[in-house]
């Protein structure tokens, strides 16, 4: 239902992939290219949150990036720590913050391995911001990304639950 709302309300092109789906394969006769003869998607921003759905989305993104010979910028967006965890970090020496950043880095390292295995150039990073949609759009603009790929299924996503709709709109 969330996907249907997005498709009916946005004026932007939206690619929706249902699961299970076959691997992405594109040939040049299947789509339009730029006048220079290149695919329009040269830089892809992949937003992840460590969920299983985001992992599956990352795999599909890498297949797409390899087909398009595009570069990927993977971004892990996480919320600021709640006050109780910030207070615990003062006492215990950043244990909660280190755990959160370690989880983000593990996810990004896994995605970097996926990209490397497919020959896809990749840059990774994480950001702490409670406005996930704004952080994603800022990174896409500053990174000059042509396409944003993210998992948006509410039952599986950790943090990106309703962010996909906000990013599109």
The predicted-structure confidence for 130-166, as pLDDT tens digits, reads as follows 888 889 999 999 999 988 888 865 555 555 657 777 7
Q: Return the percentage of the chain with pLDDT > 70, whole number.
A: 64
Find the Cα–Cα–Cα–Cα dihedral 64, 18, 147, 111, rounded to 10°.
-60
Listed in order, strand segments (DSSP E) in the chain are 43-48, 71-78, 122-128, 147-150
Q: H-helix or E-strand containing 35?
A: none
pLDDT attached to residue 77:
86
Identify the CA nearest to 113 among candidates 45, 52, 47, 55: 55
What does the block give as tokens for 11?
């004026």
**How high is the pLDDT of residue 26?**
47
Rg of the chain in Å (alpha carbons): 17
Three-state DSSP class for 17?
coil
Mean pLDDT rounded to a whole number for the chain: 77
Half-sphere exposure of 75 (CA within 13 A, CB side): 29
The CA distance from 70 to 75, in Å, is 16
pLDDT tens digits, one per residue of 75-132: 998 877 666 555 555 576 676 677 788 889 999 999 999 999 999 999 999 998 888 8
């Amino acid at each position: 239902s969330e996907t249907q709302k997005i498709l009916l309300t946005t004026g932007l092109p939206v690619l929706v992939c249902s699961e299970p789906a076959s691997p992405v394969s594109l040939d040049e006769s299947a789509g339009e290219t730029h006048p220079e003869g290149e695919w329009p998607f040269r830089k892809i921003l992949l937003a992840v949150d460590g969920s299983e759905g985001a992992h599956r989305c990352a795999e599909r993104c890498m297949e797409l990036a390899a087909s398009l010979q595009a570069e990927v910028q993977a971004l892990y967006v996480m919320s600021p720590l709640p006050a109780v965890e910030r207070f615990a970090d003062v006492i215990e020496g950043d244990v909660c913050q280190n755990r959160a950043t370690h989880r983000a880095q593990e996810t990004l390292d896994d995605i970097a391995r996926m990209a490397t295995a497919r020959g896809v150039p990749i840059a990774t990073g994480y950001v702490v911001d409670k406005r996930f949609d704004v952080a994603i759009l800022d990174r896409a603009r500053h990174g000059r990304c042509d396409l944003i790929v993210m998992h948006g299924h509410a039952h599986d996503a950790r943090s990106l639950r309703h962010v996909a709709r906000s990013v599109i709109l």
